[in-house]
Each structure stands twice: as structure tokens, then as C-alpha cells.
A and B are shown apart, each in its own frame.
Chain A
């Protein structure tokens, strides 16, 4: 109990002091720690992504230090996580596609999840260096609270999506997937359907290019919004009790972190499955 109280006091001090002294709200853009915004730069969100990567790598390395055919302890836990993720994506993508793409979906899921959770640690987004103009350069920032990070993820996925779609379907198959009429029609109906499915295909093309935007803004919006909410609530608690109003929302944010990681990767997997699905018209290609 005393440990919990001391932790809460520490949390209150860190968050409260930062808010009281700085009185700054998190801005949508990340802070550049080294370099400049218009050139090579290291931002606070970049550091958080590296931290998250480091944690995942250290965890996996520790789990696989003494690998044995019959897993025990830490190895068993790590294998359970990876295998559960693999089986989850296999359920969506199928046996063949998951073998090709698990490195992306598994990696992205864990990266988003750990980044989200790291963003909730006291000090992230609150400790910084105050500049001469009064602005605070925060040392750390939730990885996904920077749209450059989420946009990078979405764009990388979009490029990979095209690569996987073309290699799985072939060029003809890819376009047939989008524009070809589904179903068996004849006569005037056939021409009608060709016209309709061509229009549907055009909409599909627009949808394909909107997907990365939607993916990146959804993740960014939820995480950044969560951080804003926590910060606003902490401001309500005053200097020493800043933690109190925000505490229930911290638990919600833990859940949001998991859900958002799941939503991003799940939607990405579904998008890929939709274009690579050979179930309905395997005879076309």
C-alpha cells in the first residue's frame, strides 16, 4: 500500500510540477531534439519508437537466451505471445499469406502497443527543456502521438500492400480483382454489370489511396487525443493531486493502446486479405 502511495505521489510530483511550471499543452507536432525540422532530425517521438523497439528486442533476446525445445518460463511466455499473434493473423490472412507477411503485422502490432503504453509512463510528454521563448522541448513523446510516425507506418503498409497484391495476383489478376464483375451474367445484364463494376473499381481505387490516410489519422487521433485528455484532467487536480482525475483514464488509455494496435493491424490485414482473396473468382487468375 505504501509503495502504491509513494508511486502515486511521485507521479503527482512529476506530472504536477511539469504542468504547473510549464503550463504547456502538448502540440500536434513533435519536438526536434537534434537537427532541424527541415533537414535531418531526431525527434522525441523517434526516440520513443527506438525505446519501444529496444524493449521488444531485449524482451525477445532475453526469452531466447537459453532456447530449449520444451519451452519454460520466459521463453514460454514469449513464444505464447508470438504464436498467439501468428495464429490471430493466420485466421485472417490464411496459412500462405501469414508466412509472407507476419514480420510486418507482428512487428507493427507490438511496436504500436509498446509505444502506446510507453506514452503513459509518467514523464513522457511532461519532462522537457524550456527554451528562451518559453516553449518546452519535451524529451519524450508518445510514438503514435506524432502523425509523422503513424503516416510512415501507413505509407510503408500501402507500398507493401501493392507489392503483396501484385505478387499474389499478377498484374492482370490485380486489376481484375478491382474492376472485373463478380458473378455470372449474360446479355444486356452483362454490359450493365461491367459498367457498374468499373465504377465500383474506380471507387475502390480512391478507397485504396484513402486507406493510409485513414489508418494514420485514426491511430494518431486516438493516441494524441488520449494524451490531451490525460493532460487536461491532470491540470484539474492542481499541483499535488494532478494524478487523481487522470487515474481512471490511465486504465482506459491502457485499453485504448491495445485496441488501437489491434485496429491498425487488423484493418491492414483485412485490406490485404481482400485483395489477395482467391475464394470467389479463382478462375479469373
Chain B
């Protein structure tokens, strides 16, 4: 009884609102076709482009990550290489400094030795020159003494006299 009443009420509602089986089925088929058309010709191309762009962005991000990783690795390698180069350079500088100080010492010693040799030679030359000057002075002095004697005495001095006076004058000088 209740089922019959409910069925009658339902049928009445459907009739009041203009629902009929064929029309309803036609609308269902219509809606399915419309959805297919919209999917194929409306959303399809746009969604494909959106998907393509999304993939491209994802690829770009992937590449960016890879580049960042490579950059980080490269920076690490560069830092290591720089540190190694710094170490090598430091070692080379130290070696160069050691070598330079050794060479400098050697050169200093050589210079000192050379200077000492020059000084010794100079002293010897000075001594020889002094001796020669002394000899010359003595000879000049002897000649002056002989000339002075000859003038004072008014006597003409012969060679023996000159020689004697010279020898006496020279002998009287120290050194």
C-alpha cells in the first residue's frame, strides 16, 4: 500500500516537473556527448599546454638543482684546489726564502772576503807607495842638503862629496 502510494506520488512529481523517460535518456546522452566534446575540444588543448609547461618548469627546476649541485661541487673542488695551490705557494715561498737567505749569506761572505782582499791589496799598495815616496823624499832631501851645503860653504862639491852628504843626510832621517 505504502509502496503504491509512494510510486504514485513519485510519478506525479515527475509529471508535474515534465520529466519523461525518453527526454531524460536523451538529456543523459546529450550530457555525455557534451562532456566528451568539452574534454576533447575545449579542455584538451589547454590542459595539454598546461601539462607541457608544468613538465618544462619541473625539468627546469631539476636542471637548476643539478646545476646547483654541480656548482657546489665545483666550488668545493675550486676551494680544495685553491687551498692546495696556497699550500704549494706557501711552501715554495718558504723554500725561496730559505734559498734566498742562504744565497744572501753566501754573497755577504763573498763580499766580505772580496772587501777584505781589496783592503789588503790597498794596504799593500799604500805601503809600497809610501816606501817609494819615502825613498824619493830621502833622495830629494839628500840633494837639498848637498845643494844647501854647497851654497853655504861656497865650495864646489864633486860627485864623491855629493854622495857622501846624501848618504849622511839620508842616514840622519828616521825610517
Given A43-B23, A46-B26, A79-B50, is A27 in contact with B43 using a C-beta cutoff of 8 Å?
no
Query: B interface, by DSSP: helix, strand, loop or mixed?
Result: helix
Contact call A60/B34, Cβ cutoff below 8 A: no
B-side contacts of A148, CB under 8 Å: 18-20, 23-24, 26-27
Residues in B neighbouring A245, C-beta threshold 8 A:
none
CB B16 to nearest CB in A, in angstroms, measures 7
B16-53 vs A: 1/0 string, CB under 8 Å?
11111011101110111011011101110111011011
> Which residues from A are CB-within-8-Å of B91?
none
Task: Output the nearest chain B residue to A110 by Cβ-Cβ distance.
Answer: B38
Q: Which A residues are CB-close (under 8 A) to B12?
A: none
In the assembled complex, the CB of A71 is this many whole angstroms from the nearest CB of chain B, namely 8
Interface locus among A129-137, A152-160, A184-192, A263-271: A152-160
Given known contacts A46-B27, A111-B34, A152-B28, is B18 in contact with A82 (CB within 8 Å)?
A: no
Given A79-B50, A107-B43, do A40 and B35 touch, yes or no (CB 8 Å)?
Answer: no
Residue B164 interfacial (CB < 8 Å): no
Is B56 part of the binding interface, using a Cβ–Cβ cutoff of 8 Å? yes
Contact-residue bracket for chain A: 35 or more
What is the distance, in angstroms, from B26's C-beta to the closest C-beta of chain A? 6
Task: Decide: B20 and A37 in contact? CB cutoff 8 A.
Answer: yes
Residue on B nearest A52 in the bound complex, by CB: B34
B39 and A29 within 8 A (CB): no
Contact B47 A102 (CB under 8 A): yes
Q: Which of these, B19, B23, B41, B46, contacts A82 with CB under 8 Å? A: B46
**Nearest B residue to A39, CB-CB:** B22
Give the shortest distance, in Å, between A63 (CB) and chain B (any CB).
7
Check A60/B17 contact, CB under 8 A, given A49-B34, A152-B28.
Answer: no
> In this assembly, does A230 line the interface, its C-beta being within 8 Å of a C-beta of chain B?
no
**Main SS at interface, chain A:** helix
Question: How far does the alpha carbon of A45 sit from the alpha carbon of B53 in the complex, in Å?
Answer: 38
How far, in angstroms, from A83 to B46 measured CA to CA in the complex? 9
Of all chain B residues, the one with the shortest Cβ separation from A71 is B49
CB neighbours of A86 from chain B (8 A): 47, 50
Contact in complex: B18, A64 (CB < 8 Å): no
CB distance from A105 to the nearest CB of B (A): 10
Indicate if the CB atoms of B24 and A28 lie closer than 8 Å.
no
A82 neighbours in B (Cβ, 8 Å): 43, 46-47, 50
CA distance A112 to B41 in the complex (A): 18
Select one of B16, B28, B49 contacting A79, CB under 8 A: B49
- In chain B, what residue has the closest Cβ to A153? B31
- Asked if B50 and A69 sit within 8 Å, CB to CB, the answer is no
Interface presence of A53 (CB below 8 A): yes
Q: Does A61 contact B (CB under 8 A)?
A: yes
Question: CA separation between A168 and B7, bound complex, in Å?
Answer: 35
CB nearest neighbor in A for B42: A60
State whether A56 and B42 are in contact (beta carbons under 8 Å apart), knowing that A46-B26, A82-B50 are contacts in the complex: yes
- Answer yes or no: A238 CB below 8 A from chain B CBs: no
Given contacts A53-B34, A111-B34, contact A64 B24 (CB under 8 A): no
Name which residue of chain B comes closest to A53, CB basis: B34
Determine if A151 and B49 form an interchain contact, defined as CB atoms under 8 angstroms apart.
no
Judge whether B18 and A40 touch: CB under 8 Å: no
Query: Do B23 and A107 touch across chains, with their CB atoms under 8 A apart?
Result: no
* Chain B residues with CB below 8 A from A110, complex form: 38, 42
CA distance in complex: A79, B49 (Å): 9
B45 x A38 contact (CB < 8 A): no
Contact present for B42 and A107 (CB under 8 Å):
yes
Taking A79-B46, A108-B35, A153-B31 as known contacts, 7 extra A-B pairs with beta carbons closer than 8 A to each other, sorted by chain A number, are: A27-B18, A59-B42, A69-B53, A75-B49, A146-B18, A147-B17, A149-B27
What are 9 contact pairs spanning A and B, CB under 8 A? A29-B17, A41-B23, A82-B46, A103-B39, A106-B38, A152-B27, A153-B31, A155-B28, A156-B32
